[in-house]
Amino acid sequence: MARRGRVRARNATATAHATPPFSALSNVERATFAADGPVRAAAHPRVSLFMSPLGATPRTFTNNPPVPPTQPVTLASLTTATVVYGAFFFGLLFLALVLPGKIVPGFPQPDGQRKSYKVNGMALWVATHMFVVAGVLLADLSLSPLIDNFWSYFLVVNVWSGLWTVVLYVRGRAKGCIPKPGLFGLVRDLWMGIELNPTWRGVDLKVWAYQPSLIGLSVLNAAFAFVQYETLGTLLPQTVAYLSFWWLYMTSHYWYETGVLSMWDVIAEKFGFMLVWGDLTLVTFFYCIGGWWLLSTTEPMSMMALVPLCGLHALGLWIFRGANAQKDQFKRDRSAKIWGRDPETVGGRLLVSGWWGIGRKINYTGEIMVYFSFALCTGFQSFVPYLLPLWLCVLLPHRAWRDEKRCRDKYGALWDEYTARAKFRMIPFVY
């Protein structure tokens, strides 16, 4: 309540300075208002764990579409970003070590071994919510400086990814992992990794890397909302939808977190720069791209557009999470019912019940639908937010083709029988 009172006070201060209402503004003036609005201009200095020691500089509006500009990258901003990200990274690692979680057996690895994992991502997800909410209520915490200093954090996390890769390589060598010979072998070991399951005090680092990746992405998404609220004094409906979609996506991930253990990278891929940079940098900083275009408009999206958008997200999330949960359940217990019925299989090994009777990679279809729902929240002012779902439209069909090639080699004639039952890969009657 105290925070909301302060925001209203900022609106009152802005009104006292005779700022005209939105209805009296031209389109250019509205965009300028969004980028450097009276709420942020009138805001008093706040306590912020993320504020640059140099302080904020006045916002200007020069680009089109009107994406709010960021602060310049300086030694001070890089130092702040390093300290903040280090606290975030090691804080999550410490919480993963001390918070309770169930011990879940993984799936057989290429060497036949089967590792057990401590699964407590939901506890970390809840702890992050508690930290942010407590900071907002008790210390007037703002996440908006994360956006102000976006490029400083981006550079720091890139360097952090490289340094962590080197640490993993050195630890792997010390533990007896055999390196590949020559300079090319060194580059390959750094890129692909030298150790399958690097572990620290019982925490599997490859599985744990999902935490700074997904939680970091969620914090950045929330930071965009802070910027909009501090600029306009409210959140636009499409921003509320965008945040809600991402929150449902993340919460459902942690609800079905054990499904991560059946993923190919967890089972068979070593942990090198490819996965490290993908987790820490690519997902965190690229997947939030829609947030910039949410800040570039002051016009609310109509309910006529929001309702089908919510339907698209709900359907996509149901397909994506539901299919993955069915696959994980079948791998763990082949007698467990799917959609209230005994599972149907081909040769007792390949599932053709539930979603998997509709499409062999129907989970990828659901995931693409989810990511299009994120992009559609930004409207059609730019193609840039659509780069993410379009990228998945290239990546996931290629992955489906690669997975099927591997399955055909593994199952032989049984795979042909399976494809005769489940005829479509991703889109029924189309593909």
> Would you list the domain boundaries of the chain?
74-288, 301-431
> Minimum mean pLDDT among 7-11, 152-156, 184-188: which range?
7-11
- Tell me the H-state helices in 99-209: 121-139, 144-148, 150-174, 182-192, 205-208
Rounded CA separation 376/242 (Å): 9
Q: How much is the pLDDT for 2?
A: 38
User: Coil, strand, or helix at residue 224?
Assistant: helix
pLDDT tens readout for residues 313-349: 999 999 999 999 888 888 888 888 888 888 888 878 8
Rounded CA separation 38/5 (Å): 16
Q: How much is the pLDDT for 343?
A: 84
Rounded CA separation 124/136 (Å): 18
Tell me if 268 sits within 8 A of 109, measured CB to CB: yes
Region 118-132: what's the mean pLDDT?
96
How much is the CA Rg of the chain, to the nearest whole Å?
Answer: 24
Here the tokens at position 64 are 């089109």
Distances 13 to 74, 119, 157, 220 between C-alpha atoms, Å: 32, 49, 38, 28
> Minimum mean pLDDT among 125-129, 141-145, 397-401: which range?
397-401
DSSP string, 177-203: PPPPSHHHHHHHHHHH-S-SS-EETTE
Rounded CA separation 370/318 (Å): 9
For residues 264 and 66, the model is more confident at 264
Rounded CA separation 204/142 (Å): 32
In the chain, DSSP finds a helix count (H) and a strand count (E) of 18, 6
- Percent of the chain past pLDDT 90, that is, above it, reads 55
pLDDT tens readout for residues 228-247: 999 999 999 999 999 999 99
Q: How much is the pLDDT for 176?
A: 85
Beta bridge partners, 204, equal 199
Q: Is the pLDDT of residue 62 over 70?
A: no
Q: Within 10 A of 367 (CB to CB), how many other CB atoms are there? A: 22
Strands 203-204 and 345-346: unpaired
pTM as predicted: 0.82
Q: How much is the pLDDT for 69?
A: 66
Q: What are phi and psi of 350, to 5 degrees?
A: -115, 125
Q: How much is the pLDDT for 293?
A: 93
